[in-house]
Structure formats: C-alpha cells, structure tokens
Amino acid sequence: MSLLVMTRDMPDSVKLKDSSLDYEGREQDTSGRLITGAYGSTSRQLALVAASAWTHKHQGAKAGPNRMLVLDMNYRVDNFKLTREQGRPDLIAMTGWMHMDRLQVDYRDEIKHDWLRWIAKDKGKQTAIVLEDVKLADIALRYPQYVAKMMKDHSEIMVVVHPVRLTVKPDEVLWAATVRYEPERMDTPHIRFMPDIQVIV
C-alpha cells in the first residue's frame, strides 16, 4: 500500500502514524488507530502521479508543505491466501480482510443494510432510500466515513479495501486500504526513491 506524506522540503524522517491517504469525505482519525493507503498496482501508480503533480505545483511555496512524498509498505494479513475467496464472516474472522467489491452476496447485503441504517440516521431516511439500489462499493465512495464506523463496530476487521477520490485529484477514483495501526503488521515502510529518509513506525 502507498501513503502520501506532505512535508516542507526534504525531511530527515517522517512518522508513519502521521501519514495517510487524504481523500474526499475522510474524517480525521484523531485516535491514530487507522491509516489509509492506495491499494493495488494501478491505484498506487495513480497516487504517485498525483503526488508528483502536487509537488510540481507547490514546490515554490514560501511557507507550508511544498512536497508530497510516497510512503510504501506491506501490511501483514493473517491467512492471506484465504483473501482470494469472496468475503464472508468466517473468512473475515480468520483473515481480518474485507474487500468491498469482493463479498459474498448475503454478507454484502448485510453490510449494506448497516450502512443504509447509519446513513438514514445521519443524513435522513430519504437519502438512504435513494441508495437502496446503489452498489455497496459506490455507497462507500460517497460516504467513506462509515468505513471507520464499521471497523469500530467489528473488531475482527483489520483491513477494508474501498474506493476513494483523492483530495488532491478528485477526478480520480482509486482503491484504498484502511488498516488498523499495528506496528507489528507493518513491513518495510520506506519513502519511494528516497531511501535516506527514515520512516518512524
């Protein structure tokens, strides 16, 4: 997965906990328990292109961040081979892995029911009714704040793969992975192309 880090010039180090993919509708996680990064080769490449464009645009700024770095890492998932199957409760209990576009139909409908219930409470019943025929992944794209809500309610979920629109390039939709911040699961975090910058986990 790839996270984006805004910095001023070239830092000696960055903190992984302070890094995350910023996307539309994201609510700041002040607890530091969740971080999000682009997931999959295509989405990671889109994140790199967006970071390069942002840096080019802001590199002359006299104050504030003027560079966006790409932080790559692997996140260890239990029983990873099982994630190739369509997600269902027993598999998620064994892996902690949920991909919102690869769920067993009955389980997907159960999760969608929860999301529509939350949306009805927060946004009004009419908004939820309009979304009844919308795919779960598309609902998640419009209301990504409920990813954190779902993970709070379901402690067995360690990773949720869901679509997002990058704040720095909202016309791009990419897949992101929101994961629980557990240092022992974070493997080889590093800044792409800049091995001298230390990543503090």
Distance of CA 51 to CAs 23, 57, 89, 187, Å?
13, 10, 36, 22
Q: How does pLDDT run along the chain (201 residues), one tens digit per residue?
A: 999 999 999 999 999 988 889 999 987 765 669 999 999 999 999 999 999 999 999 999 999 999 999 999 999 999 999 999 999 999 999 999 999 999 999 999 999 999 999 999 999 999 999 999 999 999 999 999 999 999 999 999 999 999 999 999 899 899 999 999 999 999 999 999 999 999 999
Query: What is the reported pLDDT for 95?
Result: 98
Sheet holding 67-75, edge to edge: 97-99, 159-166, 169-180, 34-38, 2-7, 67-75, 186-191
Backbone Cα Rg of the chain: 17
